[in-house]
Structure 1
Amino acid sequence: MTEYRRYAIYYAPPPGEFARRSAHWLGWDAQAGQAVDQPNLPGLPRPLAALTADPRKYGFHGTMKAPFRLADGATRAELGAALDELGARQAPVVVPGLHLSQISGFLALVPQGDDGPLKALAFDAVTMLDPFRAALTEVEIAKRRPERLNPRQRALLDRWGYPYVDEEFRFHLTLSDKLEAAEGAALAQVAAAYFADCLPQPFLIGDLCLFGEDAAGRFHLVSRHALAG
């Protein structure tokens, strides 16, 4: 069994055209655990590989519980069982669809309509699975740039190991590195055409995915856990 350095709870699209196309956009198929060719699309300001380096290692995903090291004594099997328990009590979440948005300089797909149920699902994952999370080290805290966080975000970082949870949470599917405005605008036009005929409508989150980070820093889809409540 592969040993992973960290784990995360993500949304990842089920097998199909949206999953295939998004994996090729980033150049990493987390379900297959392998690099895939990125398309050479007209209108790109730079090669797509140079615009997607940061999100590539994570695979195409929406964060529910950010990456964490397992607490002492906790196992992957126990974490998976806890995800099954969470899924058994949570219903699938449906929103009308997804649309492109610029978030703090990077391009992402974000949900349309009321995201309250999605926020609630994510916070349940954060809180219910937190016993499996090892406490942050000083180095890990520093990587979150706490001096740039507002007081509430810093409190959330200290309590839950991540500053963007609860009311600070915003579900998004990252498509690029942080870009200058002109590059971001150009990339958004390319992405709109690339994803136009495969974006799910409605957008359904029917399961939660356990991801693991390998020794090279790449994330793999380990298991899916149905939302059946």
Structure 2
Amino acid sequence: MSEALPVSIRAAEAGPSASRYAVYYAPAAARPLWRFGSRVIGYDAETGEDLESPPLRHFDAESWRAVTADPRRYGFHGTLKAPFRLAPGHDEAGLRASCARFAASRPRFACAGVAVSSIGRFLALRTVQPCAGIDRLAAGAVSAFDAFRAPLNEAEMEKRLRAPLTERQRDYLARWGYPYVMDEFRFHMTLTGAMDEATRSRAEDELRALFAESEADGPLIVAEIALYRQEAKPGARFRLIERFPLGA
């Protein structure tokens, strides 16, 4: 049986006002995949600019911005190390240096590609075939950057525990601050928030057609990792602050 979550998982010293960081996979800004994902969610996390909604048959601009509000807050990405606040004794400069060392020690690789898929009530891009390279990269990032992670505060823990988690996922939440890691990790790049079944079906048809026209359906090139930061202010979005090449 899973033990109760440890007492150490409580409000972090840094407090809920501290900036958050995340280590993500982000396609190169010049690649069609970055342009596709950023336009779909209406936000370019590298430039910080809002983008016009794509032309859609079943959604006007206002309704599509509502559908994509959640992913727009995080920026287009694939999670490697989920968002965290810095633990006491650590700073952004140290995190950047650690990202550079981590990236330099990992090889570049490619996955077969991605496609628009449903994950529960939302839509995302998922790899069309299993990709051991991205699984290894994510597992390494979870472990390598955990020393920088402050414990979850009460609000963050309560939010995570609202989801129906398995015993293993609860164990991972206690150990790593996020339940979907290691063998529970499934690489994806989120495109929408949660929708009812009919809305999701219409959105999936629309996005599959857009993706087919985007020239983004080639191999998934993984040549770098990216550090994102969310400033500690109401409504702040995550912003890509530095890219780190793999195998440099």
TM bucket (normalised to shorter chain) is over 0.9
- The worse-fitting range, judged by mean Cα deviation, of 115-124 and 150-159 is 115-124
Q: 2:84 aligns with which of 45, 56, 68?
A: 68
Q: Would the alpha carbon gap of residues 100 and 122 (structure 1) be closer, same or farther in structure 2, given more than 3 Å must change?
A: same
Amino acid at match of 2:157: I
- Equivalent runs, 1:136-147 vs 2, <5 Å: 136-145=152-161
Query: 1:8 pairs with 19, 22, 41, which one?
Result: 22
* In 2, Cα distance between equivalents of 1:146 and 1:85: 36
What secondary structure is seen at the aligned counterpart in 1 of 2:74? coil
The 2-side partners of 1:96 and 1:8 are apart by: 25
Q: Which residue of 2 aligns with 1:217?
A: 236
Residue 180 of structure 2 is aligned to residue 161 of structure 1:
no
Gaps of 5+ in 2: 1-16
What's the TM-score once normalised by structure 2's chain length? Answer: 0.86
- In the TM superposition, 1:12-161 aligns within 5 A as 12-16=26-30, 17-44=32-59, 47-145=63-161, 148-161=164-177
Q: Which amino acid aligns with 1:21?
A: F
CA contact (8 A) 1:106 1:178 kept: yes
Partner AA of 1:213 in structure 2: Q
Q: What percent identity do the matched residue pairs reach?
A: 39
Q: Which whole-Å CA distance do the structure 1 matches of 2:128 and 2:41 have between them? A: 23
Once the two structures are overlaid, the 10-residue window that deviates more, 4-13 or 162-171, is: 4-13
Paired AA for residue 21 in structure 2: Y
Q: Shift of the alpha carbon at 1:224? A: 0.4
Aligned residues: 227
Deviation at 1:113, TM superposition (A): 1.6
Distance in 1 between residues matched to 2:49 and 2:20, nearest whole Å: 18
Please state how far the C-alpha of 1:22 moved relative to its aligned partner.
Answer: 1.9
Letter paired with 1:63 = T
**Whole-angstrom CA distance in 2 between matches of 1:41 and 1:130:** 41
Distance 1:4 1:220 in 2: 15
- Describe the superposition over 1:31-88 as per-residue Cα deviations: whole angstroms up to 9, x where unpaired: 0012222123113388211211111111111110000000111111110111111111
Q: Aligned letter for 2:226?
A: C
Q: CA deviation at 1:99?
A: 1.0
CA-atom RMSD, angstroms? 1.8
Amino acid at match of 1:208: I
Conserved 8 A contact 2:110-2:219: yes
AA aligned opposite 1:28: Y
Q: Give 1:146 shift.
A: 5.5
In the alignment, the residues of structure 2 paired with residue 4 and residue 99 of structure 1 have an alpha-carbon distance, to the nearest angstrom, of 35
Is there any run of 5+ residues in structure 1 with no aligned partner, and where? none
Write the letter of the residue equivalent to 2:34.
Answer: A
Q: CA deviation at 1:147?
A: 6.4
Shift of 1:154: 0.4
